[in-house]
Amino acid sequence: MRKRSLIPIASRNSERRRVLNVEIEGLRKEYEGGVVGLQEVNLTIPPGIFALLGPNGAGKSTLMSILSTLMDPTNGTARVGGHDVIREKDEVRQILGYLPQDFGLYPSLTAFETLDYVGMLYNIGNPNARRERIESLLSQVNLSDVRNRRVGGFSGGMRQRVGLAQALMNSPSLLIVDEPTAGLDPAERIRLRSLLAELGGDRVIILSTHLIEDVEAVADRVAVLHKGKIRFHGTVAEMQEQVRGRVWEVDVEPGELAELRRNHLETGLRRTNERIQIRFVAEKVGHPNARPAEPSLEDAYLWLMREDTSGPH
Amino acid sequence: MALTEVAPDTRAPSVVARSPVGIVSLAGMELRAGIRGPSFRLLAVVSAILGWSAGGAPGRGVALSAWLAGETAWRFFGFVIIGWMSFLAVQDIAARTDVLVYSKPQPTERIVLSRFAAAFGQVLLALAAVYVFAVAGRLYSGGGLTGISAYMLRYLVSVGVVFFVGAASYTMALMLRTPLAGAAVGLYWVLALAGKQYLPKALYPSYSQNVLSYVFLGMCLLGVTCWFHRLRRRGRQPLAAWVRPLTLGSLVLCGVFVWHSLVTEFDPPMHTDPALEMMAMQTAPVGELAPGFRLPNTTGGLSSLADYPGRILVIGLWSPEDSESTIILDRLEDVWRKYGSRGVQPIAICISQDRSAAAVFARGSGVDFPVVLDWGTHNADKPSNASPMASAYDADTLPHVVVTDRRRLTRRILKGVDAYEGVGLERAIQERLAAQPD
């Protein structure tokens, strides 16, 4: 008999959520025309917030689409809680919440109706149970006050919060959020990050982003994806450690900048009075004013993105 | 992989019981989203204009107005629906709502069907607007509502036609993921309209007798789409039990109905009928016996001239395709009311390839005398070539009225305007009554 849901249906007192891992083995995606989206990606993602960091076009959305059962890989496997995302799509969808990077809502439906529809898609057949769940979600994403307003009139941040609420409708064990803060103003970005941070716990949250601040704010673990390959995966602290002893700050005259930039990987720049403070990641910087600095995640990210970097660390 | 169970975090929402949500519920929500949108308002306005333009048709009853509303519904509204359904089928891809919907644990067939139902629900509402505004247009132009149920007859046929065109364009666009695929249906529609004379009657979508064939074809296309759309999305999830029977059953039923039409419709040279050919070979000169017939009437039986022995017959030939000729029904009803008690019997012969035409006009005109359908009508350049009865009565100009004496001998022939305007018809009947009072 087909399993209807991995999430146990139980009374509130005895409610328990299954903890799962996401396991990705040798995942490859090749598009028509030979464009490679992913190359032999191997990852094990435990519960917690896992950030997938990479520039635009790195393959993050491809990986998200495969994990959310919307796309099949060319080779390799991915398992969510033991369920194959290619063969056991329905089982995966039962435990999945997905907030895509680029998604649409029916503009003429209110926030409540939008979530009501999503509740139906999740087979929450009892209208009272659905209503209760929606009220709870609206409160969680701070949209209760605008529950009867049409989503077509919402700001980008409000739309993202509706998107997050719909992804949480089934209390997912795996929540995938693809570039949730892209295009948001700073206040909304912070609000969304806070929401994600609160959602941690026993579920797997995969946060795809190209913003270092997102990772710094919420992630427990991180993988860096570049041109379809994983260049690093580990904890945030471990990523920072990649460049310990290699980060330098140098106070220079403007005329010296060009020479230094030519030979070193620049990761930051700050103007101080008449001089410029420039930050590099390098084994050694040949300048008398160079002094070692505390590594940041951004330093590590840019170091990992170097063209000559190969393979996961 | 082993799964461990732990207590939920405090912010974890309560897990709610799941049970399958009906397609109707899903469709209802999508319908709500659709009818609030600006594009539906535009569709409703276009429908209202089309309906209004059909509403002002002349006639004592609503017959012609109802008929024209039906014609509008498939000729012009049909194109609107092709565009509308093709657009709605792929709207999700453009609006990016598909990524939300298809990542949810709903079987593809339920998504396809609920979305089609929502889109078609909007079409039905717009179609209702065509008819409502046809009624409004009729009232505005000062016409009465005698035989208003004719609108319902036409609406039901229109629903069938629109269902087919909607299902065909929706499924084509959905399967090929472009609204341009729906244009293929539009092309077929153009060819059907422009090349009517080259199509066998059985393959013409708007005839009421073909509606069931096309409804089953539409259901079959929907079944195919449920079956194969986003096939890879299914994984190892089994196809719903109803999809195969729906698809194959509809295909078989469509085939049976088309075959039945092909072998029963009088549609020379494909299929002929000796009885109709014999009827067509009769002639109707003045002084000779009026051509006889045995044709289906609007009450489900067959009528012939032999049913009215000893009566003065006023036989009127008309066609819904010639709007002016339908006025003869009102004139014949006048004759029936005025002279029926004195042994005058009007009989109307409807020349139409649509099997429901006689019923729609009889009901919509509120007539009490027999209206029969010349079911041998087929495509031709003029009525006398298209219809066995028009051929027998040599009726190339419609309406065409023949007045007989009580022995069924032709005494007077009135053609075109002469048949329904002036005193020609009245005088002919009075002459007969004077010559043969009883």
Question: Which residues of chain A make contact with B12, given a CB cutoff of 8 A?
Answer: 15, 17, 171, 201-203
Compute the distance between CA of residue B415 and CA of residue B345 in angstroms, rounded to an integer: 19
Residues A227 and A285 grouped into a single domain: no
Same domain, A271 and A130: no
Residues A46 and A145 in one domain: yes
Instruction: Examine residue A198 and state whether it is found in any structural domain, yes or no.
Output: yes
Domain that holds residue A142: 22-235
Residues A230 and A276 in one domain: no
pLDDT of amino acid B224: 97
**A82 with B1: Cβ contact below 8 A:** yes
Do A111 and A166 fall within a single domain? yes
Q: What is the mean pLDDT of residues B203-219?
A: 92
Residues A252, A114: one domain?
no
CA closest to B37 among chain A residues: A108
Query: What are the percentages of helix, strand and coil residues in chain B, rounded to 5?
Result: 60, 10, 30
Nearest to A88 among B8, B97, B236 (CB): B236
Residue A27 lies in a domain: yes
Task: List chain B domain ranges.
Answer: 21-264, 274-435
* Residue at A302 is within a domain: no
Q: What single letter denotes the amino acid at residue B255?
A: G
B113-147 tens-digit pLDDT: 999 999 999 999 999 999 999 999 999 998 888 89
Quick one: A224 and A100 in the same domain? yes
Report if residue A299 sits inside a domain.
no
Residue A91: partners with Cβ closer than 8 Å, 6 or more residues away: A3, A6, A83
Which B positions 14-43 lie with beta carbon below 8 A of chain A? 14-21, 25-26, 29-30, 32-34, 36-37
Q: Which of A90, A108, A201 sits opposite B105 (nearest CB)?
A: A90
A254 or B295, greater pLDDT = B295
Substitution target in B99, B114, B239 with the highest count of A β-carbons within 10 Å is B99
ipTM of the complex: 0.85
Q: Which two tokens stand for residue B399?
A: 């309406």
Domain count, chain A: 2
Its pTM stands at 0.87
- Copy the structure tokens of residue B424: 């020609």
Q: Which CATH architecture has domain B274-435?
A: 3-Layer(aba) Sandwich (3.40)
For an interface test with B, the pick among A19, A74, A121, A204 (most B C-beta atoms closer than 10 Å) comes out as A121
Distance from CA of B93 to the nearest CA of A (A): 9
Q: Are residues A210 and A167 in the same domain?
A: yes
Residue found by looking up tokens 């609406």 in the block? B155
Contacts of A104 in chain B (CB under 8 A): 92, 95-97, 100
Last residue of a domain, one of A186, A213, A235: A235
How many C-beta neighbours within 10 Å does residue B167 have?
25
Q: What is the pLDDT of residue A4?
A: 42
Q: Are residues A285 and A138 in the same domain?
A: no
How far CA A132 is from CA of A115, A137, B33, B294, in Å, comes to 11, 9, 22, 68
Residues A138 and A250 both lie in one domain: no
pLDDT tens-place string over residues B239-298: 999 999 999 999 999 999 999 988 888 888 778 888 888 899 999 899 999 999 999 999
Q: Please indicate, yes or no, if residue A67 is contained in any of the structural domains.
A: yes
User: Do the domain assignments include residue A283?
Assistant: yes
Is residue A195 domain-shared with residue A120, that is, in the same domain? yes
Domain annotation covers residue A313: no
Indicate the residue among A194, A214, A235 that finishes a domain. A235
Q: Which range has the top average pLDDT, A300-304, B9-13, B56-60, B220-224?
A: B220-224
Whether A149 and A279 share a structural domain: no
CB B338 within 8 A of CB B409: no
**Residue B308 burial (CB count, 10 A):** 18
Domain membership of residue A288 (yes or no) is: yes
For residues A47 and A204, the answer to whether their CB atoms sit within 8 Å is yes
CATH of the domain at A199: 3.40.50.300
